[in-house]
Amino acid sequence: MLPDTAFFDAIAEAAAAETLPRFRMPVAIDNKQASGFDPVTEADRAAEKAIRKLISERYPEHGILGEEHGDVGLDRDYVWVIDPIDGTRAFISGLPVWGTLVGLYHKGKAVMGMMDQPFTGERFIAVPGQASVTRNGDTTRLSTRKGISLEQAIMMTTSPNIFSAELEPSYKRVEASVQLARYGCDCYAYAMVASGHIDLVVEADLKPYDVGGLIPLVEQAGGVMTTWTGDSAEMGGTIVASGSAALHDEVLKLLNRS
């Protein structure tokens, strides 16, 4: 049996108890990358511990794939995919576009997901057949924008610097074709696709925990989310999230044009 939304609410509250008191406060930052900058904070680690504790108590038979504390039981039918703070760079910069991501995979397919932004009071949850956002106690169904061509589209990516020299020309073709391109919103951009405020997110070099909580949000709101080659997005890599299948097809053709 799949969990209900109340369990996702409990996860979100447990994580927020660790993240919110540390947001816009002095916080120690560790760099996980020998060359470059991949920050992690005490808030990341504490929030993931709180999430894992709830999952382990309620669903001990499930596996867990987490960014900060390793993996357990990835061969099990149900696996939780956790990113306690997606957008740690935004978090340490005081920008409220980070979020807590939690997804549930069943036999490798993302079936439920959540993006919680406790500072703005927005909680995005997707269950089979429905995606919704709760703001200040009011819940609204999510729906992507339809009938938008590539030339009319609003696109986001976390940074133009995430693309390798090999991938950059493909990305630039898409950026040059849209009406508006914006940078820097991490997971929040995908929530805006699901909400119908923007139309596209194009990114690369993502991990499963970067997308696990977001795939159901986009899909259950009526959008499409795949790799650049049109394959399943669950394991990350090069990712496109679009508000409609027609727009998605346009983008894939442009990304894969020789």
What is the CATH classification number for the domain harbouring 63? 3.30.540.10
Domain count, the chain: 2
Is residue 12 located within the same domain as residue 116? yes
The whole-number average pLDDT for the span 14-22 is: 97
Q: Which residue has the higher pLDDT, 2 or 222?
A: 222
Confidence of residue 35 (pLDDT cuts 50, 70, 90): low
Say if residue 9 is in the same domain as residue 126. Answer: yes
Q: What is the CATH number of the domain that holds 216?
A: 3.40.190.80
Say yes or no: 164 and 232 in one domain: yes
51-72 confidence digits (pLDDT tens):
999 999 999 999 999 988 889 9
Average pLDDT estimate for 72-93: 96
Report percent pLDDT > 90 for the chain.
90
Whether residue 55 is found in the same domain as residue 102: yes
Q: Are residues 62 and 34 in the same domain?
A: yes
* 238 in the same domain as 129: no
Which residues make beta-bridge pairs with 71? Answer: 65
Identify the domain containing residue 197 by its residue range: 150-255
**Same domain, yes or no: 126 and 158:** no
* 43 and 101 co-located in one domain: yes
Q: What is the pLDDT of residues 85-98, one digit of tens each?
A: 999 999 999 999 99
Q: Which of 94, 111, 141 is the last residue of a domain?
A: 141
130 and 207 co-located in one domain: no
Burial 39-65 (b: 16+ CB within 10 A, else e): bbbebbbbbbbbbbebbeeebeebbbb
d(CA 110, CA 97): 23
In the chain, how long is the greatest CA-to-CA distance?
A: 51
The stretch 4-23 carries a mean pLDDT of 97
According to DSSP, the β-strands at 237-242 and 39-41 are unpaired
Final residue before a domain boundary, out of 141, 163, 194: 141
Are 213 and 247 within one domain?
A: yes
112 shares a domain with 31: yes
What is the predicted pLDDT for the residue at 31?
77
Q: How far is CA 171 from CA 61, 133, 190, in A?
A: 41, 30, 17
Residue where a domain stops, chosen among 119, 141, 163: 141
In angstroms, the CA 106 to CA 83 distance is 18
Place of tokens 């369990």: 7
Q: Quote the percentage of the chain above a pLDDT of 70.
A: 97
Where residue 37 falls among pLDDT bands split at 50, 70, 90?
low
Judge whether residue 224 has pLDDT over 70: yes
For residue range 134-191, what is the model confidence (pLDDT) as tens digits?
A: 998 899 999 999 999 999 999 999 999 999 999 999 999 999 999 999 999 999 999 9
pLDDT tier, 29 (very low <50, low <70, confident <90, very high otherwise):
confident
Do 166 and 123 reside in the same domain of the chain?
Answer: no
- The Cα–Cα gap between 163 and 165 comes to 7
